[in-house]
């Protein structure tokens, strides 16, 4: 759990097998499956990730070092945790925030420490496993929607299936582009099914996230294709609106027709009023963990109906909980991660690595945009999927260095 460490596989040939390597691999995939299918066992697998990672660290401690990205993540988690608890008002300490910030570090480290291949004969790599999981997600969601028509597939809240739709759709599109033969058509069909699932959830943040993820691809295309792709991406919402599929037109009419009355806009305005009442110290360091829920009730126009625990906006949430210090730290961290992904993708030594880098940029973008509008930042719903994205990104950085 100490770090996503740089393993020199050439000096550690036995790391490709062994109990702890397989245990860590099973734990990471069990964690991912639990999140993807809403099993509720993610916490158990997360503990297993920490145990497997620590075991490997102890076994190979002489050949390991902490990468700079992992060291920066550890420092960020330490600062945010300390600041969040120190600035919180007196009373009962809620250790859930510590859990939500600390435990995902084990998953980030675990993904970075996974063996490149596993198995004695077939030497299976991670790509086909990820592809199969993405396809199974689509199949399982459609089955769940048909069996439980009153629920949202595998979840009880539409924003959760929408989140995993926007995370799996770029992966399925990637495999439809790089795979040949009949498998390509399987991934094309799965991509179409995933897109329809997203529309079925009627999650406007989900669609906005997918639109943003599509647009970030444009700068990486050849110049002659950029404008054509950009226009095609913008035409798609118009076609969906004209078709009216799954009430897309009604949802857009409701959004733009009642924009100023939209729930999120009202929360943002009231949160801004609450923020303006902050002291200088609170503007700099914030109010601490959990304080938004307690303070917002006095400002909320929804208090008689429901009490919101977060403002549905990362910028306002982080400003209130961690002040300008925390907000700048998070924005910087995201900016550096995106910049590093872009640099590694642009300078990759082959097209396959470049494609993986672009895929990671898209997945990071859709996660950020969707969670930004729908989920609390310091929650399991945001940070647990993010831990897998960060782990994959850190692994990509390390792979480029080892092969550069």
Give me the phi and psi of 18, to 5 degrees please.
95, 155
pLDDT in tens, 125-136: 889 999 999 999
pLDDT range class, residue 118, cuts 50, 70, 90: low
Please tell me the pTM assigned to this model.
0.91
Domain ranges of the chain: 126-244
Beta-bridge mates of residue 118: 124
pLDDT in tens, 45-81: 999 999 988 887 777 666 567 788 999 999 999 999 9
Say yes or no to pLDDT of 322 above 70. Answer: yes
Say yes or no to pLDDT of 4 above 70. Answer: no
Distance between CA atoms of 176 and 193, rounded to whole angstroms? 13
pLDDT in tens, 141-180: 999 999 888 788 889 889 999 999 999 999 999 999 999 8
Q: What is the pLDDT of residue 386?
A: 97
Return the half-sphere exposure (C-beta side, CA atoms, 13 A cut-off) of residue 333. Answer: 22
Between helices 68-87 and 314-346, what is the axis angle to 10°? 180
Average pLDDT over residues 184-197: 96
Nearest CA to 314 among 381, 253, 395, 225?
Answer: 381
Q: Could you tell me the sign of the dihedral formed by the alpha carbons of 123, 126, 128, 132, in that order? A: positive
pLDDT in tens, 180-190: 889 999 999 99
Name which residue leads in pLDDT, 267 or 122.
267
> Do 79 and 87 contact (CB within 8 A), yes or no?
no
Tokens of 187: 């991934």
pLDDT range class, residue 303, cuts 50, 70, 90: low
Name which residue leads in pLDDT, 17 or 354.
354
């Amino acid at each position: 759990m100490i770090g996503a460490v740089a393993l020199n596989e050439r000096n550690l040939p036995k790391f490709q097998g062994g109990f702890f390597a397989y245990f860590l691999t099973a734990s990471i995939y069990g964690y991912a499956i639990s999140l993807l299918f809403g099993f509720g066992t993610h916490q158990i697998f997360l503990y297993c990730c920490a145990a497997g990672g620590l075991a490997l660290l102890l076994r190979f401690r002489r050949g390991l070092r902490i990468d700079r990205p992992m060291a920066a993540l550890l420092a960020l988690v330490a600062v945010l945790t300390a600041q969040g608890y120190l600035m919180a008002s007196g009373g009962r300490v809620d250790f859930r925030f510590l859990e939500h910030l600390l435990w995902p570090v084990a998953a980030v480290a675990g993904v970075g420490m996974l063996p490149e291949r596993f198995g004695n004969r077939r030497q299976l790599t991670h790509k086909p496993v990820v592809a199969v999981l993405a396809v199974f997600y689509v199949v399982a969601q459609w089955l769940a929607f048909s069996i439980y028509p009153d629920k949202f597939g595998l979840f009880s809240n539409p924003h959760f299936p929408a989140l995993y739709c926007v995370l799996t759709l770029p992966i399925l599109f990637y495999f439809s582009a790089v795979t040949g033969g009949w498998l390509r058509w399987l991934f094309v069909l799965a991509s179409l099914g995933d897109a329809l699932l997203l529309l079925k959830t009627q999650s406007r943040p989900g669609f906005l996230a997918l639109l943003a993820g599509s647009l970030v691809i444009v700068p990486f295309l050849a110049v002659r294709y950029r404008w054509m792709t950009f226009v095609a991406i913008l035409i798609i919402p118009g076609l969906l609106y004209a078709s009216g599929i799954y009430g897309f037109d009604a949802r857009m009419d409701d959004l733009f027709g009642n924009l100023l009355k939209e729930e999120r806009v009202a929360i943002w305005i009231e949160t801004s009023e609450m923020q303006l009442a902050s002291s200088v110290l609170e503007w700099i360091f914030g109010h601490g963990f959990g304080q938004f829920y307690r303070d917002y009730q006095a400002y909320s126009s929804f208090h008689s109906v429901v009490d919101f625990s977060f403002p549905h906006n990362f910028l306002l949430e982080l400003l209130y909980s961690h002040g300008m210090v925390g907000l700048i730290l998070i924005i910087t961290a995201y900016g550096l991660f995106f910049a590093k992904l872009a640099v590694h993708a642009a300078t990759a030594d082959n097209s396959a690595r470049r494609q993986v880098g672009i895929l990671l940029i898209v997945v990071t973008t859709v996660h950020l945009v969707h969670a930004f509008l729908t989920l609390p930042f310091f929650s399991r719903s945001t940070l647990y999927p993010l831990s897998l994205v960060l782990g994959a990104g850190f692994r990509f950085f390390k792979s480029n260095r080892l092969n550069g």
